[in-house]
Amino acid sequence: MNFQRVYSLIEGSRFDVCSKNCVFDPISYVYKTKGQEKMRLLKILMANECKSDCKYCPNAWRKGFSLSPNELARLFFAMLEKNLVDGIFISSSINADVEKVMENIIEAGKIIREQFKGYIHLKIMPGCSRDDIKRALEIANRVSINAETTSQSIMDDLSSAKNLSLDILRRERWVAKEVRRFKKIGFRKSFTTQIIVGVGESDVEIIKSLEKHYRLNASRVYFSAFTPIRGTPFENRKGEDVKRVANLYRVDALIRKYGFKAKDFVDLIDRNLPRVDPKILLAEKYDNPDLIHIPGIGFKAARLLKNGYTLLDLKKMGFSIKRAIPYLTNQRRLTDFK
């Protein structure tokens, strides 16, 4: 098997985010699971030559490579046998009609699943059929379909081939319904989506869309900072600041884990978040914020404080308390914690 072809397809998959902290290392992608164990994925495109015309993506603007389902399965099992990977994430460019692309993704997953009981993640293509989504979920532990952006007007600037509402968001709703159906009969299934940050959208638009995706029970919404790539129509556009992406991930965690609403953030900003921790903005909005709303205080620290422990007790336990002190005026000052 041609190594240049394989490496090109692996490297091309880096634009699909499957974890907030996912590192290319150098033939697999490594990230930590919820249990903090490392998962090494063969994260690969089945094809990287695309019929679409997304202006930020190199696949539409170069001659690419492809693998058949059998070739991909052989590659995965060879890497698995050498203990190089623990699972697989299969995606693809749209190098043929959508039905054919999905057929290849599903067939590759099916061949692998016949001998492999571990983690399989399959990409759902925009415009695919509901039956394809069902078949993919029969094989995969997780599927994903990328929203890419927040509105059709921005999508029109990115690509002439995609309709956000019909091709993507409708499919996301189908995915959500199929995931719920599988869960009801005892299967552990999930789905994610992804938004490109830095192609014309505001933080307000992204935050509002977060709530919509989580209302469908998406497991995660990932962010991909726009990076200009030579040879694409957007090669001269400015890349997005990673600090903006980091702040959006903080907002995501507050909505997903802490029960905040999009409105809590939208009411505080006109367009984009300032470059400070969003939890500080929220804490300063309230006269007497709940413990869980205080910067630097997570679920465990809040529980300890409610049970009568002091900030000094938390400091002795190893918690960082500096950010919480201005909002807990009944506690002793940091200068006393020596």
Sign of CA dihedral 316, 318, 319, 322: positive
Of 287, 293, 335, which is closest to residue 311 (Cα–Cα)?
Answer: 335
Q: Give pLDDT tens digits for 245-268.
A: 999 999 999 999 888 899 999 998
pLDDT at 239: 96
Length, in residues, of the chain:
338
Q: Give pLDDT tens digits for 7-37.
A: 788 877 877 776 666 666 656 777 766 665 7
Full-model pTM: 0.88
| pLDDT of residue 334 exceeding 80 | no
- What are the residue ranges spanned by the domains of the chain? 3-283, 286-336
The stretch 110-138 carries a mean pLDDT of: 97
Task: For the domain covering 3-283, report its CATH number.
Answer: 3.20.20.70
pLDDT at 25: 64
Tell the residue number behind the tokens 């957007």, with chain if given: 234
Mean of pLDDT over the chain: 89
Q: Apex CA 332: angle with CA 327 and CA 334, to 5°? A: 80
Contact 85, 76 (CB under 8 A): yes
Q: Give pLDDT tens digits for 38-89.
A: 888 999 999 988 888 999 998 876 778 899 999 999 999 999 999 999 999 9
